[in-house]
Structure 1
Amino acid sequence: MNEVVALNVPKRMRLRVADFALLDEAGAFAGYRKTELIDGEVLTMNAQHRPHMYAKGEFAFRLRLALQAIGSSLYVGMEGSVSLSDHDLPEPDIILTSEPIGDGPVPGASVALLVEIADTTVAFDLGRKATIYAAGGVPEFWVVDLPARTIHQHWAPVDGAYLKTCIVPLGETIAAATIPGLSIETGLN
């Protein structure tokens, strides 16, 4: 009689946010620049050159002014860790949150909008990051695609995907789909 025997196959071990935090506190990532935890995997982040730095600063500044203009209490943060699940602790370029003060990472439930500035990471940001942000319930997510001079706007997250998307050319106004009255000019020199 033939019997099927299960083989012990190596499996990927997904780190939890708590594991990642302990390793980080112990200095395990000290030689790797900045890191983030995506689906339980520790990833190093690319160096940020001037186009990325400039776009991130401009978008954060314009978002801050626009939020003030509409009387919103949302805070614009840059490069903070956001806790989205037991295995996801990304560090988006720009975070709009209702809870900027406190210990630990920004709670995912407090996030209204995340922005990634993509110079060399467009495919990753539109793929794996978008999936994680949607699964984490982030209401709206923008990817500023510097090479293509466009903004990919995503909203209505359901089951790890955004149901609604649109592309706005840099230089035009973008209006948030989930924050009433919020819009910014996107022209970059």
Structure 2
Amino acid sequence: MTVTLVRHQFTVQQYHQMADAGILTENDRVELIRGEIINMSPIIPKHSGCVIFFTNLLVLILQKLAIVSVHNPVVLNEISEPQPDIALLKPRADFYRNSHPQPEDIFLLIEVADTTVKYDREVKISLYAEANIPEVWLVDVNQEVIEVYRNPIDGIYQDVKNLGKNQVLSILAFPDVNINVSEIF
């Protein structure tokens, strides 16, 4: 006898209702990916240090050109609300107080990974491509490499580059901004 497991898929609206009802709290480190509530990994110092570095650098370099959002949700569609490590957002007067950012609000998403590189690459990067996020960086703190994903077409990034130490990273939306990868690690 074969047993078929049935999974219940949640919408972003249902996910928010669970938070409103107290089923999920601010202390729950979860995100909604393709309708499933996924536990997020604990953050080690190497990971948090990289996020802190990027946050400070991007705020300093971009000043009023973009909003730097850290560990906050972005709504990609009706069933996915991930929390990337950093989201570089289009400026808005309300600073996204009235609604979470959506794909058209996003310049760049950054995922910093130590134990989740495979998951981020296979699940989250493809999710971002499907949502037409113009640029995503996957920062592998163990290998000290940054994977740059650009130009999503039909849910697949067409331009993928790996950058290591002494190479220069630029932001697609702000091509004059250059970051030496060696500074990050």
TM-score (norm 2): 0.88
Aligned counterpart in structure 1 of residue 154 of structure 2, from 152, 156, 159: 159
Deviates more, 1:81-90 or 1:163-172: 163-172
CA–CA separation in structure 2 for the residues paired with 1:19 and 1:183: 41
2:87 maps to: 95
Aligned counterparts, 1:74-113, within 5 A: 74-98=66-90, 99=92, 100-113=95-108
Aligned counterparts, 1:1-189, within 5 A: 11-30=6-25, 33-68=28-63, 73-98=65-90, 99=92, 100-186=95-181, 187-188=183-184
Asked if the contact 1:82/1:105 (under 8 Å) is kept, the reply is yes
The one-letter code matched in structure 1 to 2:136 is: F
Q: Structure 2 vs 1, CA of residues 134 and 122 (structure 1 numbering), >3 Å: closer, same or farther? A: same
Secondary structure of residue in 1 paired with 2:110: strand
Q: RMSD of the alignment, in Å?
A: 1.9
Runs (5+) with no aligned partner, structure 2: none
The one-letter code matched in structure 2 to 1:56 is: V
The one-letter code matched in structure 2 to 1:127 is: E
CA–CA separation in structure 2 for the residues paired with 1:101 and 1:155: 25
Secondary structure of residue in 1 paired with 2:8: coil
Task: Measure how far apart 1:10 and its partner are.
Answer: 5.8
CA–CA separation in structure 2 for the residues paired with 1:95 and 1:133: 12
Asked if the contact 1:82/1:90 (under 8 Å) is kept, the reply is yes
Runs (5+) with no aligned partner, structure 1: 1-8
| Identical counterparts, % of pairs | 27
Asked if the contact 1:66/1:183 (under 8 Å) is kept, the reply is no
- Count matched residues: 178
CA–CA separation in structure 2 for the residues paired with 1:47 and 1:144: 16
Deviates more, 1:10-19 or 1:129-138: 10-19
Asked if the contact 1:62/1:184 (under 8 Å) is kept, the reply is no
Task: Measure how far apart 1:161 and its partner are.
Answer: 1.2
Moved over 4 A (4+): none
Determine which structure has more spread, i.e. the larger CA radius of gyration.
1
CA–CA separation in structure 2 for the residues paired with 1:174 and 1:110: 22
